[in-house]
Amino acid sequence: MTDDDLDPSAARPLSSARSDVGRVRSVNEDTALARYPLYVVADGMGGHERGDRASRTAIETLDALVPADAEVTPAVLLDAVRAANTAVRELRDPVTGALSGTTITGLAVVRAETGATHWMVFNVGDSRVYRWNGRTLSQLTVDHSVVQELVDAGHITQLEAEHHPDRNTITRALGAADEVEIDAWLLPYAGAQTFLVCSDGVTKELGMFDLEKLLSGHADPDRGLADSIVQAALDAGGRDNVTAIVVESGEFVDAAMFSTEKRDRAFELDDTHPRSPL
Ligand code: MG
């Protein structure tokens, strides 16, 4: 079989997406885009309209530079993220000089120079991409956050990270500096794969087990799994903006239906912010 036989357009992934302001906030600072070949979430910060504009500007830049309906090269995708960084930098308030910032996290179908097709996962900030294989959920991205650094250094556990006073401080964001360092991973584009792209409004309300149960369940076919996940995060409190994209390629993994459970945790309003104030 040659690469020409593996025409990704012959079996494009199915996707569902939902973004919700949540139960506490008045502005949705998250923005999402889900259309072949790009599936991406941005979670803006900087307060009120600044975060809102930052995430929207980042996604609009990617939408303009990553054409719909065709795979792009990895270089085109990474250049689009860098252009989004520049566009967010340009939102600087001319009077106060205040910067806007946003996370940018997602995946795209890319075609390497060899002609081989891959999934490319990319991340700046603390939104996340997970892979679901029908039985286990794996987090593919690594948060750019103070608590992740503390976990990596062995100073605190993952459980302690959830309650740490710096849990909302991120160490990388679009808009924070002229140059942006982008984490990226290439995965084979083959077989049945399901990915979840989400903002921290999902992961602060729902644990891995909750997400696994939701991804195993039967979604309303008209609304999709992303809707079920966002609804569950809202039912669990919805203290932040809540955004999810579910991308399913290849054979759909069917499993028994599970009900969702509310998490019984008390939260205060959590604001994500960069390590150096924007
Ligand atoms: Mg958030």
pLDDT of residue 10: 54
Those residues whose C-beta lies under 8 Å from the C-beta of residue 62, and which sit 6 or more positions away, are 33, 38, 40, 80, 81, 84, 104
CA 117–ligand 1 middle distance (angstroms): 31
- 76-130 pLDDT per residue, tens: 999 999 999 999 999 988 888 888 999 999 999 999 888 899 999 999 999 999 9
Entry pTM: 0.87
Percent of the chain with pLDDT over 90: 69
CA 240–ligand 1 middle distance (angstroms): 6
Among candidates 42, 46, 79, 51, which has minimal Cα distance to 64?
79
CA distance 134 to 65: 33
Pair 129, 107: CB distance under 8 Å: yes
CA 241–ligand 1 middle distance (angstroms): 6
CA 198–ligand 1 middle distance (angstroms): 9
CA 29–ligand 1 middle distance (angstroms): 8
CATH 3.40.640.10 for domain 3-265, yes or no, is: no
pLDDT of residue 87: 97
CA 112–ligand 1 middle distance (angstroms): 33
Pair 18, 214: CB distance under 8 Å: no
Q: Which amino acid is at 191?
A: G
Those residues whose C-beta lies under 8 Å from the C-beta of residue 194, and which sit 6 or more positions away, are 131, 132, 133, 134, 215, 246, 247, 248, 249, 253
- 131-181 pLDDT per residue, tens: 999 889 999 999 999 999 999 999 999 889 888 998 889 999 999 999 999
State the DSSP code for 25. Answer: -
CA 168–ligand 1 middle distance (angstroms): 9
- The sign of the dihedral angle between the CA atoms of 159, 161, 163, 168 is negative
CA 230–ligand 1 middle distance (angstroms): 13
Pair 19, 32: CB distance under 8 Å: yes
Q: Are strands 273-274 and 169-170 parallel, antiparallel or unpaired?
A: parallel
Which residues make beta-bridge pairs with 194? 132, 248
CA 152–ligand 1 middle distance (angstroms): 22
181-186 average pLDDT score:
96
CA 7–ligand 1 middle distance (angstroms): 36
Q: Which amino acid is at 41?
A: V
Q: Which amino acid is at 138?
A: S
Those residues whose C-beta lies under 8 Å from the C-beta of residue 143, and which sit 6 or more positions away, are 125, 126, 128, 170
CA 44–ligand 1 middle distance (angstroms): 7
CA 166–ligand 1 middle distance (angstroms): 14
47: confidence class by pLDDT, cuts 50, 70, 90: low
CA 132–ligand 1 middle distance (angstroms): 22
